[in-house]
Structure 1
Amino acid sequence: MEQNEEANRRPLAVRNLSLTKRIAVWICDKNITPNQISLLSIVFAALALLFGALYFNYSSTIWLLLFPVAIQMRLLCNLFDGMVAVEGGKQSAAGELFNDAPDRLADLLIILGASFIALNPYAIHLAWLTAVLAVFTAYIRVLGVSMGCAADFRGPMAKQHRMALLTFTSLIMFFDQFFGFIKLESVNLMDIALVIMALGCVVTCWRRLVHIYQLKNGALAEKAND
């Protein structure tokens, strides 16, 4: 793998786990392409949206459990498509397209699914705003790469942070409703999670924009001093 490819790859410690590597090798031995895995992430994101909608209509705690499961399956697809492509040597000319575009749709579907779990009647509007901000964080990262900068995956609301927030929020709500030991009937944590995510995305966008500016402005000043 070339050095610039490594610099533009999201750093994940889980890639170095022996179990993860064994699963990636097993997938590589099958007739499965990284692009197919990338597209599969949309299916799991759509399931997350479905589980959120089912919770809104039927209010069963099972949907609060299945919602984060679908999120984590989406993240596993994001993990293994890259590992199969790079470590497995199955890269394709259109790989970057399949690696990035499905992520944007998956983010939208999952965040909209979270809005169905929230209680606030304006949650759907907040979800759309948050989804736009999430897409913008990715746009800034890609913009930086197009300007010659290394991919910037800083948060506080990068993709893995957004998905972790929704996962733990849904699980806390599940355990509260199933066991009833936290007593959160008057507070819907998913409303709070969406607000935190929206604000965090704004901060993330700002930090990434400033980082690009500092890099390019610094490079320009250094060139002028040569």
Structure 2
Amino acid sequence: MSRAGITPNAISATSLVFAILGGASFIIAGHQDEGAWVVFWLVGAAMIQLRLLCNLMDGMVAIEGGHKTPTGELWNEIPDRFADVILLGCAGLAICHSEDHADLLGAAAGCAAVMTAYIRAVGASLTGRHDFCGPCAKPHRMAILTLAAILTAIQPLGATDGRIMWWALAVIAIGTMLTFFRRTLRLAAELKKRES
């Protein structure tokens, strides 16, 4: 990629395209009849992994390829925030039934993901280092979401009630909020330590 002249910012933007395609696949999967939904759950899972691959490659091209740009940090962070909300929110919409509030669960997971990134950025501005601790950091969230999409696709034909994805979103929402609080407590402890 570096030799081909592909910029890290373009790779970061492509990660958002994959997230949009993944979110769209989830919504389509949730509105298909019979077995057609299987393919779209699997496409969504593949798009998550391609998004993560872009996240890996943009940094490598920027640092190891020597193609850092003044706006690189913005391109590294902003598409990720949109991608989290799109993928988690669309997963909730895909399995939304009026009585289970999966749409709200997906939205809550997306908001929690943004909050964990926010506290990480605040910590970096105050301490000069990023805290990527879990239990539900981005790689963990996307692993759970990918696995849930695959399991939803391969569950017995006709069992399309979305229970697997519902529980996955619940785990992500709760785990991500725990991550937010853990990062906040770790940051507070670090700041107190520096003060003393």
Structure 1: tracts of 5 or more residues without a match: 1-26, 222-226
Contact 1:119 1:188 in 2 (8 A): no
2:146 matches 1:172: no
Amino acid aligned to 1:100? E
Deviations, residues 170-194 of structure 1 (Å, cap 9, x unaligned): 111212236x9xxx66661100011
Q: How much is the aligned-residue C-alpha RMSD, in angstroms?
A: 1.6
C-alpha distance in 1 between matches for 2:161 and 2:17: 33
Contact 2:96 2:103 in 1 (8 A): no
Match of 2:8 among 34, 53, 58: 34
C-alpha distance in 2 between matches for 1:33 and 1:118: 37
C-alpha distance in 1 between matches for 2:147 and 2:193: 40
* Alpha-carbon distance, 1:120 to partner: 4.1
Aligned to 1:112: 89
* Alpha-carbon distance, 1:119 to partner: 4.7
Matches within 5 A, 1:23-102: 27-59=1-33, 60-102=37-79
Aligned to 1:217: 192
After superposition, the Cα gap between the structure-2 partners of 1:141 and 1:157, relative to the gap in structure 1 and judged at 3 Å, is same
TM-score, with length taken from structure 1: 0.80
CA radius of gyration, larger in: 1
C-alpha distance in 2 between matches for 1:51 and 1:82: 27
Contact 2:88 2:110 in 1 (8 A): yes
Contact 1:149 1:212 in 2 (8 A): no
TM-score, with length taken from structure 2: 0.92
Contact 1:120 1:191 in 2 (8 A): no
C-alpha distance in 2 between matches for 1:219 and 1:44: 41
Structure 2: tracts of 5 or more residues without a match: none
Contact 1:45 1:74 in 2 (8 A): yes
User: Secondary structure of the residue that 1:58 maps to in structure 2?
Assistant: coil
C-alpha distance in 2 between matches for 1:82 and 1:166: 23
C-alpha distance in 2 between matches for 1:144 and 1:118: 35
Contact 1:61 1:177 in 2 (8 A): no
C-alpha distance in 1 between matches for 2:75 and 2:31: 33
Runs of 4 or more consecutive aligned structure 1 residues displaced over 2 Å after TM superposition: 116-121, 184-187
Aligned to 1:197: 172
**Which has the higher mean CA deviation after the structures are superposed, 37-46 or 149-158?**
149-158
Amino acid aligned to 2:189? Q
* Alpha-carbon distance, 1:117 to partner: 3.3
C-alpha distance in 2 between matches for 1:63 and 1:187: 14
Contact 2:23 2:86 in 1 (8 A): yes
* Alpha-carbon distance, 1:72 to partner: 0.3
C-alpha distance in 1 between matches for 2:21 and 2:143: 17
* Alpha-carbon distance, 1:118 to partner: 2.4
- Give the number of aligned pairs: 191
